[in-house]
Structure formats: structure tokens, C-alpha cells
Structure 1
Amino acid sequence: MDPAANSSLHFPGNQSDMVSSVFTRRALPWLYLAACAAGLPLNGAAAWIFFRVPSDSALVVYLKNMAVADLLMLATFPFRVAVELGVGGWRLRALTCRYTSVLFYASMYVGILLMGLISLERYVKIVGPTRCRGRCRCRGRFLRDPGAARVLAALAWGLLAACALPNAALTRRAADEESSRHCVRLKSPLGVQWHRASALFSVGLFWLTLLVLAFSYWSIARRICRSYRRVRRDGAGVGRKSNRGIFCLLAVFFVCFVPYHVCRVPYTLSQMPASGFGPEWRFLLFQAKEATLFLSAANVCLDPVIYFLMCRKFRESLLARLSRRDPGSAATAVVIAATATTPSVSDI
């Protein structure tokens, strides 16, 4: 996990200015501020609704944990914005290096792992029954058990906490105006080594999760296509609604997380000694890394859409509360429910 989100992690002296631009210094902070302004009410409302929904299914357990991870990530946005806009001075920069950036990346990778668990749960629900006809128990059935889901979610949190906490604990060198501009200078030698190891581990978790999602949703797509061939009546309409619910998570995953991890490989190589990358390439790779990192952060604004489309109980609870709060919106709620609650294999 990167220990900081600023541009000066690996460049000594004044060389950090080589990768700065109007985009990273001026535009990007306001983009994070806009994401924070949009994400806080969306995720706050989602949490308010979600934690009144009973955790009686594995999907609900995973989605609730995703909501917590998103709220924790959102809590780090104001710190990043303040640092980039020059508010708070070097003490706030040191605080960001030691704690909030670590929390940002830990929350992001918890969300990524939870997406992988959701895809496996959907695979077992949709594909599993067709693969174990005549058997008493389906392999992987435990993935749909709420108790097992709580254990797996706790393991995801524990794994990323074990990765992230040393990054915070080992960033303990005294900070001042100059050293706070380069987060790596606040780390002990062991802290630098731990950061590299944890970064490689986190990237490995991402690519493993990507493989899990690809397998799960490829299998689900095949299963749905076979079902539509059997049921031809209204097949196209139902297919669109079902796919919208099932594949929204996959779309969010690819839009938000894949670009950053593709850019991260050449960017990391460019930071190594004697990498052969010139200043122009370092500048371009840093811009690409920062832009795609923002896409990853913008995931917090899209996850509520996943909750609405994937979880019938969340959707029904939200629509019921909207109708109760504003009787005039009941007709609108009925229209939304008609288009979003059509029974599909993705619903609980």
C-alpha cells in the first residue's frame, strides 16, 4: 500500500516539482472534494438504510462491510484535499503520510476483496445448483451462509489491517517542513522494506480478485444465456434487467480499479533506481497514476448503485422509506420498483 498520495514519495530535493502539474495541484483536489461531497450523503444514506436490513444472507453481510469500507475511505478525502491545497502546513502532511493515506489504501483493498467474495457468492447461488444436481450438498455452499460470510469479511479486514498497521507504526521519524514533503523520509529502514512488501502483496490481491471475478461472471453469463434460450418469452427484456443487477459490480470494478493497477506497474518501475525512464516519462506516468487513482476513489460514489441493483432488501427498504417520507413520491417509487425489482437470478 502506498504510504502517501502526494507526488513527492520518491523524488528527493526539489525534483518532486518535476511531476507536478496544474492537474495534480489544482484540478485533482477539487475532484476529490466533489467526490467527497457526492459520496458522503450517498453512503451515509446507504448506511442508514442498510443497517436496518437484517444480515440474514451472505450478500447483505458483504455489502454492509463494503459500506463501512467506503465510509472509511471517504473520511480520508478531506485530508488529501487540505494537503494538496496547502492547508494545515507540514504537520497535516505528516499526519497524512502516517495515517490517512494508509487508511485510504487499506479501505480500498478491503472493498476489492469484498467484491471478490460477492462474485463467488453469486457464482454459488446461480451456477452452483446446476453443477451439483443429485448431490446432497453443493461445494462452496458455505459461501452463502451468513455466519461464514461474517468470518470471511472479518478475515479480509484482519488481513488488510495486518498489512496496513505496520506502515503507520513504522512511519515514526521526526517530521519537519522538508521531510513531511517526502513520506518515505519519515519511514525507518524496516518501514521502507515493509512498504514495498505490502505494496506487492496488495497488488497481488487485486490481480487474484480480478481472476476470481472473471471466472465467476463468465460462468454466470453462460448460465444466464442458457436460461434465456430455454425461456424465449420476454427473454430480451428480462435479460437486460437481470444483467443490470448482476453485472453492475463487474462494471464498477473494471472502471474504477483496473486502470489504476495497470498504470501502477510501469509507474512503480519508473521510480526504481536506474530505471531508464526519463523525466518526461516519469511526468506522464505520474499523471496517469494520479488520474486512475482518482477513479479508484470515485468507487465510493458508485457502490450505492451496486447496493440498489444487487440487493432486493436494500432496494425495497429504500423505496418504502421514500414513499413513507413523501407520499407524493409514491408513484415515482412504483415506477422505479417496476424497473428495478423484476425478479432475476441476481436478487436475494
Structure 2
Amino acid sequence: MENNNSAKMMNNTDSESFFIAQVLPPLYIIIFIVGICLNAVAAWIFFRVPADSGLVVYLKNMVVADLLMLFSIPFRVANYFGFNSWYLEMIKCRYTAVLFYFSMYVGIFFIGLISLERYVKVVYLAPSSSTITSSCATFVLAVLTWSLLFLCCSPNSILTNWPANSHNFTKCIQLKTPLGKQWHQATSLFTWSLFWLTLIVVAFSYTFIARQVYKTYRCMRRDSREVYRNSNRNIFSILGVFCICFVPFHVCRIPYTMSQVSPKHFSQDSKFWLHQIKEGTLFLSAMNVCLDPLVYFLMCGTFRKSLIRKLSGRKKRKPLSTDLSLSKM
């Protein structure tokens, strides 16, 4: 019986070594390189556009959130490669892992705000409604978003202690104070709930936007119905990216957190597989830093035109408009 258990644990260790130490690091390196290139271009364009509408304010904040997440990825890769440095591990546990989750949920929240902004403008307001008041209101919402999530996530860094030596911890949860473990559990539940609420808001908003677009274009000429098809493509692409990147991780996050906070209630095998699933689905969440710029490039006509104008070296460029067309998403 003991031999079987030992063999099982050895197989688990080998599987973890292959998946986490060999499969994930190259994949993270790829999304880091691609994400840096795409987000640098996105920032280059967006931060030359005046923040005269809610959509532009939210998109600029999403670019910042993606860049922050990208900054944390090299530390995660170093940890996966197994560099035997307790100092590097501590930096990851106390700072860069917190930064990773913080920036991820900032981006998720802004996706929800963008969907609400599009819903209000498409369903209730005229296409020309873009006032300084709405821009100021979205700026306030952006500040509140960063502040709320910073207050939520930063204690996870503060309530993590430095180890006395390099042999007294194997997981980040072991470095947390008793209050830190409770805060970690509460934060996980709060951000988990925030995600599912955001998903409901996004699905609700784009469902009614699609309905409104259909009403607008169903009686128009046949050649105009291409706009309707393009709008539906954009809506389902956004929902697809959101679900592929974030839903799998949030399905397994609460069970994984519970296995850390209350390990006595989980077997070694279940804790092992929850860890594998969590790391794999977390990689899908990190892929969002590459897919966000692709959403800007492929689905935002004015963004794409602005990029072409900048690359072609035109001296006179028009500002990025933010009308109601779903192609502007």
C-alpha cells in the first residue's frame, strides 16, 4: 500500500514537473512577447487620442491593466522554470502574483463598464450623445475601479511575511498571517463574485445591443445588412474572448482556494489536480493580454484606420471617434 502511494506521488510530481515546469513557461514567454508588442502599439495609438468619451477612457485603462499584467509574467516564468531562489519566490508571492490578479480583475471590471456604456448609448441615447459630463463620469468610475480593487488586493501583499530561511515554505499561502489567510479567502470570494456579476452584465448588455441593432437594420437595404452581420460577429467575438479567457479559471478558483486555506478537507490527489487545473486555466486568463489588442485591431474600424494612418506617416490625422456602431467595440 505504501509503495502504491509512493508511486502515485512520484507520478504526480513528474506530471507537475512536465506541465508546470516545461509546458507552461514557453507558452507564457510567447504571450509575453506577443502581448508586449500588441499592447505597445495599442498604447501608442490610444494615448494619442483625446479622452473625450467614456469608451476611450475605459479602453485606455484596459491597456494600462494589460501592461501591468505583462510586467508580472517574467517573475511567474522564472518561478515555473524552478530557479532555486527563495528571494525570487518571495517577490512572486508578495508582489507580482498580487499584481497579476489585481490587473486581471481591473481589466474584467472595465469590460463590464464598456458593455454598460455601449448598452446605454445604443439602446437609450442618440448616436451623437457624447458630452464632457459623460467623460467626467467615466473618469470618476475609472478612479473608483482602481481604488476599490487596490484596497481589495493590496492587503494580500501586506499580510504576507518574509521567510526566516529558504526551507520553511513551499507555497505562497504558507507565508500569510492568520489574518492574511482569511483576507485571501475573502478576496477570492469577492473577486469571484465580481467576475460572475460582470459576466451577467456583459451578456445582458450585448444581448439587448444585438436586439437593437437587428431592429435598426432589418428594414434597410440588402447591402446595409452586412453591418448587422458584422455587429453580431463583433458581439459574439467579445463574449467568446471573455468566456474562453476567464470562465474556466473562475469555475475552479473557489475549490482551489479552499484546498489552500483548509487543506485537511482535501486529499493529496485532489489538491494536486486542483493545482494543475488552476495553473492551466490561469494561463488562459493571461492570454487576455494578447486578445484584448486583437479586439481593438480587428473590431474597431476607427482604431484600425488610425493605426494605418500612423504607419503610413500622414501628418494630418483625425481623432478616434466613438460613435454607436458596434464595429467600434
Fold shared by both chains (TM-score > 0.5): yes
User: Aligned ranges for residues 219-230 of structure 1 at < 5 Å?
Assistant: 219-230=208-219
1:317-339 deviation per Cα after TM superposition (whole angstroms, max 9, x unaligned): 211012228xxxxxxxxxxxxxx
Q: What is the alpha-carbon distance in structure 1 between the residues aligned to residue 173 and residue 108 of structure 2?
A: 26
1:289 aligned to 2:278? yes
1:42 to 38, 42, 60: 38
Provide the residue aligned with 2:175 in structure 1.
Answer: 186
**Offset of 1:81 from its aligned partner?**
0.6
1:122 to 112, 118, 123: 118
Provide the residue aligned with 1:207 in structure 2.
Answer: 196
2:185 to 174, 192, 196: 196
**Offset of 1:41 from its aligned partner?**
0.9
- The amino acid of 2:231's aligned partner reads S
- The amino acid of 2:141's aligned partner reads L
SS of the residue corresponding to residue 234 of structure 1 reads helix
Provide the residue aligned with 1:218 in structure 2.
Answer: 207
Provide the residue aligned with 2:51 in structure 1.
Answer: 55
Provide the residue aligned with 1:303 in structure 2.
Answer: 292
1:347 aligned to 2:322? no
Q: What is the alpha-carbon distance in structure 1 between the residues aligned to residue 132 and residue 115 of structure 2?
A: 10
- The amino acid of 2:152's aligned partner reads C
Percent identity over the alignment? 55
Asked if the contact 1:173–1:185 (Cα under 8 Å) also holds between the matched residues in 2, the reply is no
1:256 aligned to 2:256? no
In the superposition, relative to structure 1, how do residues 166 and 83 fare at CA in structure 2: closer, same or farther (>3 Å)?
Answer: same
**Offset of 1:216 from its aligned partner?**
0.5
Normalised by the length of structure 1, the TM-score is: 0.81
In the superposition, relative to structure 1, how do residues 114 and 142 fare at CA in structure 2: closer, same or farther (>3 Å)?
Answer: farther
**Offset of 1:265 from its aligned partner?**
3.5
Q: How many residues align?
A: 310
Asked if the contact 1:69–1:108 (Cα under 8 Å) also holds between the matched residues in 2, the reply is yes
Unaligned runs of 5+ in 1: 1-13, 131-137, 326-342
User: Aligned ranges for residues 70-89 of structure 1 at < 5 Å?
Assistant: 70-87=66-83, 89=85
Unaligned runs of 5+ in 2: 1-9, 315-323
Asked if the contact 1:55–1:61 (Cα under 8 Å) also holds between the matched residues in 2, the reply is yes
1:100-121 deviation per Cα after TM superposition (whole angstroms, max 9, x unaligned): 0000000000000000000001
Normalised by the length of structure 2, the TM-score is: 0.85
Provide the residue aligned with 1:329 in structure 2.
Answer: none
**Offset of 1:222 from its aligned partner?**
1.4
RMSD, matched Cα:
2.9
Asked if the contact 1:121–1:143 (Cα under 8 Å) also holds between the matched residues in 2, the reply is no
SS of the residue corresponding to residue 125 of structure 2 reads helix
